[in-house]
Structure 1
């Protein structure tokens, strides 16, 4: 009897444990198979799928940059004797950034100016010497002409006397010969004078060339000396200054960089997967935080860095008041035009280029969870790749607490 009682108690114990486990399994299966739940429709927000033509833009980030930049270099060896402008200051083309001192260059300018003055004085002296020589030639020619008149008169007189029988024939021949000789002398002196004038012209031209060369040398040295007062050259801002007061620098050494502040471009980082779809001259809408600025793509680089490709956009519209170099901006860059695109308005939680499980409302006011694939986000519109059709409505509210339900019933 005692043995039988112990056995019965043991069996009852295992039977109770089995029943308890069975009830737990049943409760778990019941909870896991529950797929519907009621939810008040007034607590939800919806987005409706629309279809139609749509311009596809991609978002890009970047900054404004100077359209014009000028690198300032040392025109000659010198020591930085004065710095007048610091980086960040607004400058005009004539604004002096700094001054370089070079006593040797000043001496070269002085010597070149002295040589030029000496050469000009020598030319003037030579000019007066040649004028005297011309006067001498002209005096000899005048004397010969006077002799010609004299001998012409003698010839005329002798001819008259010979007719009267008073003068001899030899006197007439002598007068004729003298007149002929003087005429030849006149011809010879006039030819010499012409050659002298021509030679004098060449000599003056040669001296003028030497003076012109020296003038160019002086102008070059004077310009180099003037350039020791380094000016900005363009309207804009001083972006960097690479030298310190008292520093000695060689010719061609980089001194500073100036960039335009009103003429700007936009440097944008385009997504790598869309860069090859963007055309040159593609429209761009830039957000500068104080308004919109229109632009167009003018250059796209081929180097990929951190999943992005650098591009430059030319500003085509007026700039906003806060536009300046290095200002961070966002932009919408035109990619293509879709004639019949399906899209919805962007809402929190909806991610571009992703696959998501969303609740879709049907005509029976039932929310059914289904898979949706999204494409690009363009101007707050999210392209739909698959999973939805026109006029479908999706729940845009946070539904994370209902993700275990395949369907939800909507109530008023």
Structure 2
């Protein structure tokens, strides 16, 4: 008998549990089928109306300003950092001296080069006098030959006169003619030698000039190196990096500092990979600096994808805001395209782009019914509707998570 009572009690517990479950299921079915509709005060709710029309789609990006002009300062020669006059962040002009380097050997080489140039110039002047003397000697020889020709011609004329009178011998006349002919040949030969001498002297002078020019060029290089030991900014802007310390030895071409413009800026923006293909070159950009908007346009889009973003570069077209500077973080809206006849609503809390969600839609009967809505792009606070809604539909934007189990709710006052 004791065993039978235990069995009956167990059967009764099973029946009670089943009844409770059936009651819960019935209640749930009752709520979902709408036979029990909760009332909500309409004055405590907010609504958003679905609109339809032309919608400009923008890609949201983040990034920072960079200097449009940058200059890398390198060591003009081997040396040691003697002075550091400007630190990173300081404003500079084109002629501002940032560092001073010292190299006594370079100064000595410059002085030696200048001395050698002076020596070459003096040697050239002396050589020109030597050439002038050579030319005078040749001209003297030519003058002697010309005088000898005149003398021979005079003797020939006398012999011809005597021959006509029958006084002189014929052989004397032939000798006089031969003498004139020989002297004239000597004159032609000497003139040719004089001409060649002048041409040769021109080449010799040209060679000396080349040597002097080479030495002058060497001095210019050494002078530039010596003057550049005072490392100047080269452009107006600010010092962005200083890579050496006081007393440090540097080699020729070693990086010393970097200077960037602070009034001529560009924006480097990181665009989500899924949107990068929809952006064209020269696309308009609106850049937010927290103190205003700066307009620009895209000039370069990289093909490399890093951490899901693509780097793009924008040139600024309008005046900078007061806080604009290199490395300033910014956000940007980049124009992608225009959707000519799009459905959209103003974004509100909980509505996510590229998602499918349940929302309550108000109707004319005073009820709000749940609908499944698919959203598309979010652009400047406007969320595109892909499906589930029509123009002029009103969505409840208030938080109704507590009523998510109901298919519809009643709006009352």
Question: TM-score w.r.t. structure 2 length?
Answer: 0.88
Deviations 1:317-357 (A, max 9, x none): 33223221111111111223222211111223322223332
* CA drift at 1:196: 0.7
- Structure 2, unaligned runs of 5 or more: 1-7
The residue aligned with 1:188 is 189
Supply the distance in 1 between the matched residues of 2:162 and 2:17 (Cα, whole angstroms): 180
Deviations 1:163-215 (A, max 9, x none): 34555544433433332222122111111101111111111111112222222
Correspondence list, 1:11-410, <5 A: 30=27, 33-34=30-31, 35-410=36-411
* CA drift at 1:316: 2.8
Supply the distance in 2 between the matched residues of 1:302 and 1:400 (Cα, whole angstroms): 43
Task: Between 165-174 and 248-257, report the one with greater CA deviation.
Answer: 165-174
Supply the distance in 1 between the matched residues of 2:75 and 2:231 (Cα, whole angstroms): 8
- Asked whether the 8 Å contact 1:130–1:200 carries over to 2, the reply is yes
Task: Between 356-365 and 306-315, report the one with greater CA deviation.
Answer: 306-315
Supply the distance in 2 between the matched residues of 1:226 and 1:382 (Cα, whole angstroms): 62
Supply the distance in 1 between the matched residues of 2:166 and 2:21 (Cα, whole angstroms): 179
* CA drift at 1:29: 5.4
| Residues 368 and 183 of structure 1, relative CA distance in 2, 3 Å threshold | same
* CA drift at 1:301: 2.7
SS of the equivalent of 2:217 reads: helix
The residue aligned with 2:4 is none
Task: Between 286-295 and 324-333, report the one with greater CA deviation.
Answer: 286-295
The residue aligned with 1:7 is none
| Residues 165 and 297 of structure 1, relative CA distance in 2, 3 Å threshold | same
SS of the equivalent of 1:281 reads: coil
| Residues 139 and 20 of structure 1, relative CA distance in 2, 3 Å threshold | closer
SS of the equivalent of 1:33 reads: helix
* CA drift at 1:305: 3.2
The residue aligned with 1:3 is none
Supply the distance in 1 between the matched residues of 2:37 and 2:196 (Cα, whole angstroms): 122
Q: How many residues align?
A: 402
Supply the distance in 2 between the matched residues of 1:150 and 1:188 (Cα, whole angstroms): 19
The residue aligned with 1:5 is none
Supply the distance in 2 between the matched residues of 1:300 and 1:352 (Cα, whole angstroms): 24
Deviations 1:382-409 (A, max 9, x none): 1112221111110122333433433222
SS of the equivalent of 2:89 reads: coil
Deviations 1:227-284 (A, max 9, x none): 2111222222110001111111111211111112122111111112222332233222
| Residues 305 and 20 of structure 1, relative CA distance in 2, 3 Å threshold | closer
Supply the distance in 1 between the matched residues of 2:146 and 2:280 (Cα, whole angstroms): 89
| Residues 27 and 377 of structure 1, relative CA distance in 2, 3 Å threshold | closer
Task: Between 350-359 and 336-345, report the one with greater CA deviation.
Answer: 350-359
* CA drift at 1:373: 2.1
- Asked whether the 8 Å contact 1:58–1:376 carries over to 2, the reply is no
| Residues 23 and 184 of structure 1, relative CA distance in 2, 3 Å threshold | closer
SS of the equivalent of 1:410 reads: strand
Task: Between 103-112 and 171-180, report the one with greater CA deviation.
Answer: 171-180
SS of the equivalent of 1:139 reads: helix
- Asked whether the 8 Å contact 1:73–1:252 carries over to 2, the reply is yes
Task: Between 255-264 and 342-351, report the one with greater CA deviation.
Answer: 342-351
Supply the distance in 2 between the matched residues of 1:149 and 1:42 (Cα, whole angstroms): 136
Supply the distance in 2 between the matched residues of 1:262 and 1:170 (Cα, whole angstroms): 102
SS of the equivalent of 1:318 reads: coil
